[in-house]
Amino acid sequence: MYCAVAVLVIVMFQMLRKVKGDSLHVVVGKILSYTIAPHYVLVGCVLNYYAINMPLVDWKLAPPASDWRLQISYIVPFAINTFVAMAMGFWLCRYRFMPAWMATPLKWLSGVSIAFWLTVGLYQTGSQAFGIGLGSFGLPVEKSVPGGTADAQAFFEGGLNLIVVFVGTMQAGQDLVAYKCLALVEAAGGNADLAWKDMHKWAMIDLTYQAGVIFSLFLAFFPYCLYGLPDWTCIESPFYAAPLISVFLIPVMMQVTWIQKFLTALFSGTDAIKAFSKPNHKWDTPLPKKTQ
């Protein structure tokens, strides 16, 4: 969570400022890419493993959003998405350890994330959201639901998983955009068609969205009442997260015009994205020899 907050604050700070010719933007970006980003990805994956395997009796030690079904269905593709976005936005085609050919495995990672969501993700979250199952691969209630009862399952049905169905589908859409971007880099052997600056900007928008959503969910659902605060701080309605998500996504909303133009060009063919990226290719060359 500390990393999620750090990513959120830094990316919001970067996106709310004019960056043309601003060396501070590059310095802050390097702090994020060299220190916080790798730590966020690695530690996030480890914590996801422990959250999935957390004994049900320990459920109250974590927010409802750490339910193992939610961790598998949403956070697994979330981990892939954030890793790919960070790779695209910071390292790909900029450093020797991630040359252009690395676009190929990154592209297929995005494909795996999309396939995972359309199968496991929608099954686990959708079955609960619409009250047609537990999303637990046939496990009985006492072995699949935090709290171990049908009454406890009522919290997850409807609101909470309905939100996750929406944000997870949005995430799969972001994976598709990443797949398209990486396919362009793969085909061109670099950023000849899709300018690095445009690839970087989309990746930062992706990260801003992800950090805003995940932080909002935990902020809304953390059981404050377990730590001495009033009972009303144990939020019962999952829709309390929606206003928080809206607030933290303001930097993304400010980029709507650019996003629309970028996505239109990206999905209109190579010539269209080349024309869109033409003004920004000056960011791609020349690179220092040690990073080429």
DSSP 238: G
pLDDT score at 99: 93
Domain ranges of the chain: 2-291
pLDDT score at 25: 72
pTM for the full model? 0.82
The count of other CB atoms within 10 Å of the CB of residue 140 is: 10
Q: Which residue has the tokens 């691969």?
A: 137
pLDDT score at 70: 83
Q: Which residues of the chain have pLDDT under 70?
A: 1-4, 16-22, 54-66, 147, 158, 222-226, 229-240, 283-292
Q: In Å, what is the CA distance from 86 to each residue of 79, 99, 119, 169?
A: 11, 14, 25, 20
pLDDT score at 168: 92
Six-digit token string for 78: 């979330």
d(CA 204, CA 182): 15
The count of other CB atoms within 10 Å of the CB of residue 24 is: 11
Helices (H) and strands (E) in the chain, counts: 15, 0
The per-residue pLDDT for range 219-246, each reduced to its tens digit, is 777 666 667 766 666 666 556 677 777 8
